[in-house]
Amino acid sequence: PASRASILELLDELVHGGCAVIHITHDMAEAARAGRILALSEGRIAYDGESQGFFARDDLAELGLERPQAMRIASALGLKPIPAESARALSARIAGVSATCPELRAAAVAMDSPAAAVPVAALDAELAFSAENLVFRYLEGSGDESLALGGLSLALPVGKSLALVGATGSGKSTLLQLFAALANPSSGSVRVLGIDPSASGTDLRALRMSSPLSVQRPESAIFELYAGDEVAFGPRNQGLKGAALVERVLDAMDAVGLPYGAFRDRASRALSGGQKRRLALASVLSMRPQALVMDEPGSALDPGSRAGLMDTLFAAAKGRAAFVYSTHSMEEAARADYLAVLSSGRLAAFGPPSELFGKGFCADWGIARPFAAELAAELRALGMDIPIDVLHEDQLVFSLQGLRAGADPAVGLAKPSEPGAAADKGRGTAP
């Protein structure tokens, strides 16, 4: 997020200096900063004009797009939606309305405080992944040696999800490789599904199939001509054939929204970008892994495809040992049960998103809050009684509407639309 903000500021400076900038993006908040928007659909221009008119369209969902969160929240509160509005600017407008509506400042809210983290030893019997004093160096012993992880410790309980966030180069992808048993640490230890991959006698092939890594943009690794054969590749290498193999492929393709009957004989390369991403996911699910380990699964997708893919992943994670993913989207990160903030190969923070994006947030981590959490913080700074653990757009709108109606906003603040909601917020470890 910090790097992205710097690049966007640089683009703004170029535009103000008279330079023409053509910016291709799936981020609607970025698009809203432009003076002119060209929206393409199926090779044709669906819109050409100013951002205000574009985001007023009723068919954005049909284009796989959406309005920026600031505009959606403003509309839900009966305020005029303004493209590219910051959390601070929107909070000032909301606070201005609240000045004429005293009940919006009434009813202080006391939310449950997240429990303190517990040490690794207390969770040993029920851990999906754990790392202790984990160090990893690339090109170790050479003149180009590079430290990727420097003494990292964390633990993830069975049945939970974990989002890894941090700047590019912070160690997220390296940690995922270790969680997929694709590398051994330089020092320290890592356990994958309770197993030490470096231990003598470990069946690495079986372990890697139980915790396979889905790399960034996995569709680039599709190699089978037909979609059905691509999904069958993994289970076929597990020894399946005949009816058992067909069942695996059918279940996996149906689970990701690519019905087996309609897509099995489709050419893999002819699929859309979102369909290819789903096909790559089906190729992982067809092996029926115990854990899902994914490196930026939603990257480079339009908003509609990205949200749908994350919904599919959280649904697929139910009943599995764990779901671990990296992301640069704080909204995606907020869906996980636990959040790990990495910085220069070290663990800067670990805990429930409600804690780390709430009272425990630190700007020095180099990440941003989700927009709704940032807006909630701005509103609290202006004296409004917004719950400290608001993370999601629907939570914030519910809180504000509840205050306006004189209701208790603490009731119903669970996020039913978020499959990553954690029932147990007190498990995990800190460095």
Sheet holding 160-165, edge to edge: 213-214, 291-295, 322-326, 160-165, 338-343, 346-351
**DSSP type of residue 342:** E
Per-residue pLDDT tens for 114-164? 333 333 333 444 899 999 999 999 999 899 999 999 999 999 999 999 999
For 298, other C-beta atoms within 10 Å of its C-beta total 22
Average pLDDT for the chain = 88
3-class DSSP assignment, residue 376: helix
How do 127-138 and 187-192 pair as beta strands?
antiparallel
Q: What is the pLDDT of residue 2?
A: 74
**Quick one: 168 and 240 in the same domain?**
yes
Confidence check: pLDDT of 175 > 60: yes
**Quick one: 229 and 335 in the same domain?**
yes
Asked whether residue 71 is domain-assigned, the answer is: no
**DSSP type of residue 195:** B
| CA distances for 389 relative to 16, 112, 139, 377, 425, angstroms | 38, 9, 42, 10, 12
- Whether the Cβ atoms of residue 129 and residue 179 lie closer than 8 Å to each other: yes
Domain end point (choices 299, 331, 356)? 356
Q: What is the Cα 166 distance to its own chain's centre?
A: 12
- Domain harbouring 174, CATH code: 3.40.50.300
**Quick one: 308 and 243 in the same domain?**
yes
Q: What is the pLDDT of residue 98?
A: 64
Asked whether residue 30 is domain-assigned, the answer is: yes
Q: What is the pLDDT of residue 47?
A: 96
Asked whether residue 387 is domain-assigned, the answer is: no
**Quick one: 333 and 254 in the same domain?**
yes
Q: How far apart are CA 56 and CA 82, in angstroms?
A: 10
Per-residue pLDDT tens for 325-340? 999 999 999 999 999 9
Per-residue pLDDT tens for 249-285? 999 999 999 999 999 999 999 998 889 999 999 999 9
Asked whether residue 400 is domain-assigned, the answer is: no
**Model confidence at 4, in pLDDT bands (50, 70, 90)?**
confident
- Whether the Cβ atoms of residue 282 and residue 231 lie closer than 8 Å to each other: yes
Domain end point (choices 287, 322, 356)? 356
**Of 122 and 101, more confident:** 101
Average pLDDT on 93-109 reads 59
**Quick one: 44 and 140 in the same domain?**
no
**Of 2 and 263, more confident:** 263
Asked whether residue 312 is domain-assigned, the answer is: yes
**Of 384 and 431, more confident:** 384
**Quick one: 16 and 145 in the same domain?**
no
- Whether the Cβ atoms of residue 138 and residue 146 lie closer than 8 Å to each other: yes
Per-residue pLDDT tens for 205-245? 999 999 999 999 999 889 999 999 999 999 999 999 999 99
Per-residue pLDDT tens for 350-385? 999 999 999 999 999 989 999 999 999 999 999 998
Q: What is the pLDDT of residue 118?
A: 35
Confidence check: pLDDT of 310 > 90: yes
The percentage of residues in the chain with a pLDDT greater than 90, rounded to a whole number, is: 78
Residue 49 domain boundaries: 1-65
**Quick one: 202 and 288 in the same domain?**
yes
Q: What is the pLDDT of residue 326?
A: 98
Cα Rg of the chain (Å, integer): 23
Q: What is the pLDDT of residue 100?
A: 55
Residue with tokens 């535009």: 15
H-helix segments, 196-302: 204-210, 227-237, 242-255, 260-263, 273-285
Q: What is the pLDDT of residue 199?
A: 95
Asked whether residue 409 is domain-assigned, the answer is: no
**Quick one: 314 and 188 in the same domain?**
yes
**Quick one: 181 and 321 in the same domain?**
yes
Look at the chain and report how many structural domains it folds into.
Answer: 2
Confidence check: pLDDT of 422 > 70: no
Q: What is the pLDDT of residue 99?
A: 60
H-helix segments, 273-392: 273-285, 303-317, 330-333, 353-356, 371-381
H-helix segments, 102-240: 172-179, 204-210, 227-237
**Quick one: 220 and 329 in the same domain?**
yes
Asked whether residue 275 is domain-assigned, the answer is: yes
Q: How far apart are CA 264 and CA 129, in angstroms?
A: 34
**Quick one: 180 and 313 in the same domain?**
yes
Q: How far apart are CA 55 and CA 291, in angstroms?
A: 39
Asked whether residue 187 is domain-assigned, the answer is: yes
**Quick one: 245 and 319 in the same domain?**
yes
Positive/negative CA dihedral, 247, 249, 252, 253: negative
Confidence check: pLDDT of 415 > 70: no
Q: What is the pLDDT of residue 421?
A: 39
- Whether the Cβ atoms of residue 420 and residue 314 lie closer than 8 Å to each other: yes
Confidence check: pLDDT of 430 > 80: no
Taking each continuous run of H as one helix and of E as one strand, the counts in the chain are 16, 11
Domain end point (choices 317, 336, 356)? 356
Confidence check: pLDDT of 191 > 80: yes
